[in-house]
Structure 1
Amino acid sequence: MKEITPVIVAARRTPIGTAGLALRNVDTTGLAAPVLSALRAELDLESPDHVILGNCMGAGGNVARVSTLAAGFGVSVPALTLDLQCGSGLAAITTAAAFVRSGSSEVVLAGGVESASTAPWRMWPPANGREPQRYSRAPFAPADIGDPEMGAAADGVARRWGISRERQDAYAVRSHTRAAAARAAGRFDEELVPLPQLDRDERVRDHLRQSTLARLPSAFTTDGTVTAGNACGINDGAAAVAVVSEARRRADGIPGLACLDWETAGVDPNLPGVGPVPAIRELLRRNDITLADVGVIEVNEAFAAQVLACCDELGLHEERICVEGGALALGHPWGASGAVLAVRLYSQMVRQDGPELGLAAIAVGGGQGVAILVQRIG
């Protein structure tokens, strides 16, 4: 490994809450600052060179800067907030890796945060004497190209790739079953930063059955197969990792995940759920490997339909995805979810003496995908 190879050496996250429930009064600072503080304590870190956090729907301003100061870091620590929608948390980590690989930084804390519960209401300005109009999201793409809501887009993916309702429901049940088993076995314990309001993931259903999901109606289109049961929830949470140079990791004598390569790709905005496919393909091509070489694969489960379509396109068996449960069970706090994937890779590969290679990927509204390839070292 080169001295400036970026390496993840610590990874933590909050429990993920369901919007409006346990974390309903906890804002982005209240979620992100405890995670940053936990990384600081774990590494006995006086000060990072930079903090980078992804966020989609916060109150504006620089969420990362406010959270960095609230975590107790000095005023000299710069902080950056970025928005790549659902890919924000993973994009923050790849940006941190780029900082380290450039030689401009040696230690960067990076991740994401989302508090859907406390996100402010936003309004379009009044026009022609009308009242201001509330909107739930900014455009993902120009309307003439196609800018579907994510649920409707997932139904479009299901139709395009022929993903049946039964297959989607079965996948969702598997996610909950795996997450419940992992939680019972203590697989999440070391990565969690318990909060006063919540000490475990709120959405996981221990005994979910496919027959229960089969009773749910289509949630987004009249003839669709995507339901509230095979789609992710609306969630609150934060996650972050510490990215250091290989020289720093080796000097500290600790294991980690070397960030070998990363990619962001674009796809049709009308079918955003398959954004991970070209990003993953490019990583495999550049690094001359196949998915058979990768031991742990985390793909964000925004919708069962889009994960299954990605599997079909990549020739990847669906049971290899998120073997300890994914966002369908744990939840999808938009700006944090990509960072949650990195935390999950770290827990499975480093803390459990896992396989050599791991991969994480996430789809992005507007038709993009972000992916990262990591290697266990140390």
Structure 2
Amino acid sequence: MTDDRPVIVGALRTPIGTAGRALASVDAASLAAPVLRALADELTTTLGDPMPADDVVLGNCMGPGGDVARVAALAAGLGHAVPGLTVDRQCGSGLAAVTVAAAQVQAGAGIVLAGGTESASTAPWRSWPPVDGGEPRRYERAPFAPAAEDDPDMGVAADLLAEEAGIDRARQDAYAARSHERAWQHRQTGGFAAEVVPVGGIEHDERVRAGMSAERLGRLRPAFRPEGTVTAGNSCGVNDGAAAVALLPGALHAQVGVPGLRVVAHASAGVDPRRPGIGIVPAADAALRRAGLTLDQVDVVELNEAFAGQVLACCDALGLGEERVCPQGGALALGHPWGASGAVLLVRLFSQLVREERGRTGLAAIAVGGGQGVAMVVERC
């Protein structure tokens, strides 16, 4: 009997750029378009026929508004008949977009391309309208929660979470240094090459660098609270990038017979908006429960590393050994292009489980501003 669950058969991303640098002139739709085009070309090779996608679903949280996914699909040359849907679940947007796409495929759609894109460099300036003849008031982000819920900035919230969870500065710096070292070593072996579509004249992630030791990170000052432990070194960067996957119905996948990742389960969850970073925990728990798995049965774990202290607090709450997270480096080293990062996690799982055959099952999970989490369990098939 054919398994009818959706299967990811392609997963690609752009290099992740540092805001204001190599990808500074490339807007969100233009970041996503080359990835969508490359996925469509891969599908043509796989299927032996240029079958059009039924939809393009992309996450984005800081772009120009409108429907970035539709603009990207048109820019990718997918044709006027291919629609687009843009999803905003803030930092979880890219992974949430794939859950939407998986539901579409499960409901009868054919091919759906899904992921996320973010250009912090070209994010428009936003302002509240004038009140009583005053001046427009510029803001950098929309509210994550009502004023009564406190709505702290992510860095402050992560610092407080680390303090409450007993995650000291040394442990955070050691974790961040390990992420950098893993990403650097993997890059030196050409390990990211198969998943990266060159954009804007760059082929490598800008943030990855050698020599980021715990001792070096330990010299940095607290970034958000004078007495805090979160620094620029044990936090992610502000980044530009896009990532996407191609999903097929299980029956079509069975016909073409290429390796892929079956979407086994996914979940979203809410937590106290004052501590959004812990949102990974209930989302991962729910996705694993729906998959009928425990963490011990998962071969590769990719958690979005927004802040070392935040990831470590989640690891402790999950009973997850921190050394198991992001085996080839995570967002602390690669960068965190907000609306794309959830999809980047799936690209990383695809590379490890399918391209490199490093196990069979994978978990991707990401925390979201406003107190949410999104998680997905996949298996190689």
Smaller-chain TM-score bracket: over 0.9
Letter aligned with residue 21 of structure 2: L
Aligned to 1:224: 228
- Whether contact under 8 Å (1:4, 1:100) holds in the other structure is no
- The Cα offsets for residues 235-257 of structure 1, whole Å up to 9 and x where unpaired, read as 00000000111111111120100
| Conservation of the 8 A alpha-carbon contact between 1:4 and 1:102 | no
Residue 331 of structure 1: which of 332, 335, 338 is its match?
A: 335
State the identity %. 62
1:77 aligned residue (73, 82, 91): 82
Tell me, yes or no, if structure 1 residue 249 matches structure 2 residue 264: no
The corresponding residue for 1:123 is 127
Aligned match for 2:352, one of 341, 348, 353 = 348
Q: What secondary structure, in the 3-state scheme, does the structure 2 residue paired with 1:275 have?
A: helix
Structure 2 residue aligned with 1:32:
32
Distance 1:373 1:284 in 2: 7
Alignment partners' CA distance in 2, 1:27 and 1:363:
24
**Is 1:175 equivalent to 2:179 in the alignment?**
yes
Amino acid at match of 1:107: I
Q: Distance in 2 between matches of 1:209 and 1:50?
A: 44
Aligned partner (choices 43, 48, 53) of residue 48 of structure 1: 53
Task: Give the residue type in structure 2 aligned to 1:192.
Answer: V
The residue type paired with residue 65 of structure 1 is R
SS of 2:116's equivalent?
strand
Query: What is the aligned partner in structure 2 of residue 20 from structure 1?
Result: 20
* Cα separation, 2, equivalents of 1:281 and 1:209: 32
| 1:200-349 matched pairs, under 5 angstroms | 200-349=204-353
SS of the equivalent of 2:380 reads: strand
Q: Distance in 2 between matches of 1:320 and 1:149?
A: 28
- How far apart, in 2, do the equivalents of 1:260 and 1:3 lie? 11
1:18-167 map, 5 Å: 18-44=18-44, 45-103=50-108, 105-167=109-171
SS in structure 2 of the partner of residue 190 of structure 1: helix
Structure 1, 44-53 or 357-366: larger mean CA deviation = 44-53
How far off its partner does 1:196 sit?
A: 3.6
RMSD: 1.0
Alpha carbons 1:262, 1:373 under 8 Å: kept: yes
**1:336 alignment partner, SS class:** helix
User: Do the aligned partners of 1:33 and 1:71 also contact (CA within 8 Å) in 2?
Assistant: yes
Q: TM-score, normalised by structure 1?
A: 0.98
1:356 offset after TM fit, Å?
Answer: 1.4
SS at structure 1 position matched to 2:332: helix
CA distance in 2, matches of 1:34, 1:282: 34
The residue that corresponds to 1:7 in the other structure is 7
Q: Which moved more, 1:125-134 or 1:159-168?
A: 125-134
Does the Cα contact within 8 Å between 1:17 and 1:202 map onto a contact in 2?
A: yes
Give, as a single letter, the amino acid of the residue that structure 1 aligns with 2:212.
Answer: L
CA distance in 1, matches of 2:148, 2:243: 35
Whole-Å Cα distance in 1 between the matches of residues 265 and 73 of structure 2?
27
User: Greater CA deviation, 160-169 or 124-133?
Assistant: 124-133
Matched with 1:187 is 191
Is contact 1:89-1:111 (8 Å) kept? yes
Letter in 2 for 1:187: G
Mapped contact 1:275–1:368 kept (Cα < 8 A): yes
Structure 2, gaps ≥5 residues long: 45-49
**Which is worse superposed, 126-135 or 143-152?**
126-135
| 1:88-112 Cα distance to aligned partner (Å, 9 max, x none) | 0000001100111112x01100000
SS of 1:151 mapped into structure 2: helix
Tell me the amino acid that sits aligned with residue 121 of structure 1.
W
Q: Which moved more, 1:303-312 or 1:44-53?
A: 44-53
How far is the alpha carbon of 1:207 from its aligned partner? 1.3
Contact kept, 8 Å, 2:2 with 2:254, in 1: the verdict is no
Q: How far apart are residue 83 of structure 1 and its match?
A: 0.3
> Following TM superposition, by how much is the alpha carbon of 1:128 offset from its aligned partner in structure 2, in angstroms?
2.8
Q: How far did residue 3 of structure 1 move?
A: 4.5
Deviations 1:147-172 (A, max 9, x none): 00000000111111011011111111
Gaps of 5+ in 1: none
Q: Deviations over 1:290-330 (max 9, x none)?
A: 11100000000000011000000011000000000000000
Amino acid aligned to 2:68: V
CA contact (8 A) 2:265 2:288 kept: no
